[in-house]
Structure 1
Amino acid sequence: PGQLPGKPQLEALFGALGHRDDAVYVVYDDEGGGWAGRFIWLLDVIGHSHYHYLNGGLHAWLAEQRPLSQDSPVAAGGPVPLQLDEAPSATREYLESRLGASDLVIWDARSPEEYRGEKALAARAGHIPGAVNFEWTAAMDPARAMRIREDIAERLEALGITADKEIVTHCQTHHRSGFTYLLAKALGYPRVKGYPGSWGEWGNLPDTPIQQ
């Protein structure tokens, strides 16, 4: 994870998946939504809106004793031409230019220890000024096989993460924040961006503003 793959890599990936303009994706993973959310972000980047998230992923599927397959699909074909949309992504420069805006909320999906600067996974520790911390796993309900919490909209509203704001979400590598990106989209929030550079970029630059 991390920065957005280049256009040739994305064209090869979606070609191998057999991507078509009329394809409908059902996206899931085995961890509660991080990888699934990052893939949904990629679908938004290529401008493909025909997708669904399997709430709870494999955990929920197995909890309902649904069948599994051992078949491995083969690569469907060569690269497919894609047009990439910049709207689902925030660059470091964009985020810096928007710091302090009243209609912006930065959703930090990392652990509280990373957010407070007590745990460093980069050259510098802390968080982006003004960012709100709500760890990605806090949005999952273990009692419901890792499905999205039923009260999640209320919990986010209490933190100021609301539909009237532009939401930019990040973690360390835009893996954990893949789920928070997906979550904001699932709630119908109209302006959602993932910051693929995340703290792996922000915290390793010498001059980006940081709070602890």
Structure 2
Amino acid sequence: MPFPIGRSDAGRRAYEESHIQGAVYTDLEKELSGEVEEHGGRHPLPDIFVMTVTFGRAGISNDSIVVAYDDQGGAMASRLWWLLKYLGHEQVYLLDKGFSAWTKQGLPVSSERGEAQPATFIATVQHNMLVEMDEVKELLGSEGTTLIDSREAPRYRGEVEPIDRER
């Protein structure tokens, strides 16, 4: 589920108000991100062991089918998708067009909290899905290398910066 930049409690509140029946909420900042340090951005990768425990608590085993969704164009759901893929999960998907499309179609929603059946998730880290900063520096300007900045256009252009201070 979503939360607008700078309002991290909004996602949980939106989930408590309405979500797809049986859905379990995961918090980007508290569960899908590690501690902010010198490097790693605002949402660094969490510790692998911590992620496996978090996913297990959410009812995700290695054999589970996981459908991730949010209401922010897929930004949060994509992070969950990537984290699961990075840890070797095979059956993880994104809900096409997200929660808004679900509700616009009149599909059922609930305000009842989803209760996950705890499961065991064992990580098989896909190291090839991660690149270190030094490797990126070496690749900059190299033929065949494309670097993509996925921030919203006004932030990319430097027109607005709602939460990150200038360095």
TM-score (norm 2): 0.65
Give a deviation string over 1:117-163, Cα, whole Å, max 9, x none: 45453444xxxxxxxxxxxxxxxxxxxxxxxxxxxxxxxxxxxxxxx
The 1:5/1:36 distance shift into structure 2, 3 A limit, reads: same
The 1:74/1:26 distance shift into structure 2, 3 A limit, reads: same
Q: Is the 8 A contact 2:85 2:92 kept in 1?
A: no
Aligned match of 2:84: 43
TM-score (norm 1): 0.52
Give a deviation string over 1:80-126, Cα, whole Å, max 9, x none: 332222222222122112111211111112244433445453444xx
Instruction: Give the counterpart of 1:109 among 128, 137, 150.
Output: 150
Does structure 1 residue 99 correspond to structure 2 residue 129? no
The 1:114/1:39 distance shift into structure 2, 3 A limit, reads: same
Does structure 1 residue 58 correspond to structure 2 residue 99? yes
The 1:75/1:54 distance shift into structure 2, 3 A limit, reads: closer
Q: Which ranges in structure 2 are unaligned for 5 or more consecutive residues?
A: 1-32, 34-42
Deviation at 1:75, TM superposition (A): 4.4
The 1:67/1:112 distance shift into structure 2, 3 A limit, reads: closer
Aligned match of 1:7: 48
Give a deviation string over 1:25-64, Cα, whole Å, max 9, x none: 1111122211000001101111112122111111100110
Aligned match of 2:75: 34
Within 2, Cα distance between the matches of 1:78 and 1:20?
5
The 1:27/1:90 distance shift into structure 2, 3 A limit, reads: same
The 1:117/1:73 distance shift into structure 2, 3 A limit, reads: closer
Give a deviation string over 1:187-208, Cα, whole Å, max 9, x none: xxxxxxxxxxxxxxxxxxxxxx
The 1:33/1:11 distance shift into structure 2, 3 A limit, reads: same
Aligned match of 1:69: 110
Deviation at 1:68, TM superposition (A): 0.6
The 1:73/1:111 distance shift into structure 2, 3 A limit, reads: closer
The 1:122/1:106 distance shift into structure 2, 3 A limit, reads: farther
The 1:122/1:103 distance shift into structure 2, 3 A limit, reads: farther
Q: Is the 8 A contact 1:46 1:82 kept in 2?
A: yes
In structure 2, the residue corresponding to 1:52 is in which secondary structure?
strand
Within 2, Cα distance between the matches of 1:9 and 1:53?
23
